[in-house]
A and B are shown apart, each in its own frame.
Chain A
Amino acid sequence: MYQFCRTYVKTGMKLFDLIEENPSLLLMMQHFNIDFRVGDLTVSQLCNIEGVSEKLFISIANLYNGFRPVENPIDSVDDLRQTIEFLRNSHDYYREDKYPQISSYIKQLQENHPEKELKLLEKFFYEYFAEVIDHLDYEDNVAFPYFIELINKKTSSKTDLYSAKEYSEHHTDIELKIKDIKNLLLKYVSISDDLNLRRKLLFSLFELEYDLYIHSLIEETILIPFGYNIEKA
């Protein structure tokens, strides 16, 4: 699902063309709370209208197109707020859309095929899902408020109990177990027929993996380095 060979997004390009090339950009727009009816607007016009930082939008759009940011796109309080808002919105997408969808497919698959292996796969997924929820809650309740606090105070906060370093250590790679489930389904677990359901499940896993990958890249290449810089200042 995550393809590395697409256009390098720039200010004058039309959203319509970019979406046509990589429809996953719609998901990015949803995380930014931007409507899908883009007309003939260019990136720069759309950002202006929506009040979104153009640099941030381009950096994240390029992540979706497979390019890592060369420099940190956030340089103001407002940019940081927008980044956190974006990450929070993607949490809602995992919690309210992707996970219920995947778990309903796995449950259905398990009902259709009573083999114990699938029971184990279901159990594996639920344990994993619980871990992810923990991680998302932690980010929403501890990490993000810390970054907001940091920028509001604009003072060195060495006495604080928390730091960007701690965040980056806590920040586990939650995509790894998704890879395990995908590998198991594509390489090892034998299930007869049910291709429709299995394809839907695999597509959902790929979609989730794609967005989680970008999610952690935003945290690693944008949010955490920015936190370090403020702490140092």
Chain B
Amino acid sequence: MSRHQLHITIMVHSPIIYEGLHTVLSQSDMDCVICKVDSLDDLEAILHSKKVDILITNPLLLVNREKDVKRIRKNNPHFSIVGINLGIVDSHSLALLDSSFTIFDTTEQVLSKLQKAGNNNKLKVTTNDDNLTERELDVLTKLVNGFSNKEIADSLNISIHTVVTHRKNITTKTGIRSQSGLTIYAISKKIISIEEVDLH
């Protein structure tokens, strides 16, 4: 799953607006997952278990709900609310929004506003390629040959703690956790030759 992915939740009553937004977002280049809720209560319920970066809503649905919105924001600091301006908006609800667009905006305008709202959330980016360092390759080779952490530490003259750190990095970079899985990885990458491996 991409780390740049935006989790967007849509709360509108009009099926036409929901379907329209869904289509525009799905067909755009924006990497996002879209979810639908019917009320602020439902939103709070799902916030317990999943990430929401942006809520797109009709500001009229926030009327008289300032307290709830404030509570949700307090519990979810990295969360933006983008309103759809349908022409009738009261100033109280408007104040609850981070940004808004109208149904007459172009697709590009809508997407750029959402992207901006998403960027405010400062998503953490980590690299994840499987280029192992020389030392990690050393540890991997010993590991798939059945060496224990202690034996690896002794033979490479490093501490067990360092071996554990290398192993963690190997798993993060390759996405493979088990020793058998790493053996197959090492062979596929030609780090070790198949003849070195005991098949029985």
Residues of A in contact with B (beta carbons under 8 Å apart): 3-8, 66-68, 70, 116-117, 119-121, 123-124, 127-128, 176-177, 179-181, 183-184, 187-190
**Is B95 interfacial (CB-CB < 8 Å)?**
no
User: Residues of B within 8 Å of A, CB-based: how many?
Assistant: 30
In the complex, A7→B45 CA distance in Å? 12
In the complex, A203→B199 CA distance in Å? 27
Contact B188 A117 (CB under 8 A): yes
Closest to A121 in B: B184
Contact A4 B188 (CB under 8 A): no
In the complex, A166→B151 CA distance in Å? 32
List 7 A–B pairs whose Cβ atoms lie within 8 Å, in order of A's numbering.
Answer: A4-B50, A5-B35, A8-B45, A67-B50, A116-B197, A117-B184, A117-B187
Cross-interface CB contact of A70 among B45, B181, B185, cutoff 8 Å = B45
- Least distance between B136 CB and chain A CB atoms (Å): 16
Apart from A4-B35, A117-B184, A177-B181, what 10 extra A-B contacts exist at CB < 8 Å? A70-B45, A119-B199, A124-B180, A177-B178, A179-B177, A180-B178, A183-B174, A184-B185, A187-B174, A187-B175
**Is B37 interfacial (CB-CB < 8 Å)?**
yes
Contact B177 A176 (CB under 8 A): yes
A66 partner residues in chain B, CB cutoff 8 A: 49-50
Contact A120 B37 (CB under 8 A): no
B188 partner residues in chain A, CB cutoff 8 A: 117, 184, 188-190
B174 partner residues in chain A, CB cutoff 8 A: 183, 187-188
Residues of B in contact with A (beta carbons under 8 Å apart): 7, 33-38, 42, 45-46, 48-50, 130, 174-178, 180-181, 183-185, 187-189, 194, 197, 199
- Least distance between B41 CB and chain A CB atoms (Å): 10
In the complex, A189→B188 CA distance in Å? 5
B183 partner residues in chain A, CB cutoff 8 A: 120
In the complex, A11→B35 CA distance in Å? 19
Contact A181 B181 (CB under 8 A): yes
- Least distance between B50 CB and chain A CB atoms (Å): 6
Closest to B186 in A: A188
Closest to A189 in B: B188
Q: Which of B33, B42, B46, B197 has the most CB of A within 10 A?
A: B46
A181 partner residues in chain B, CB cutoff 8 A: 181
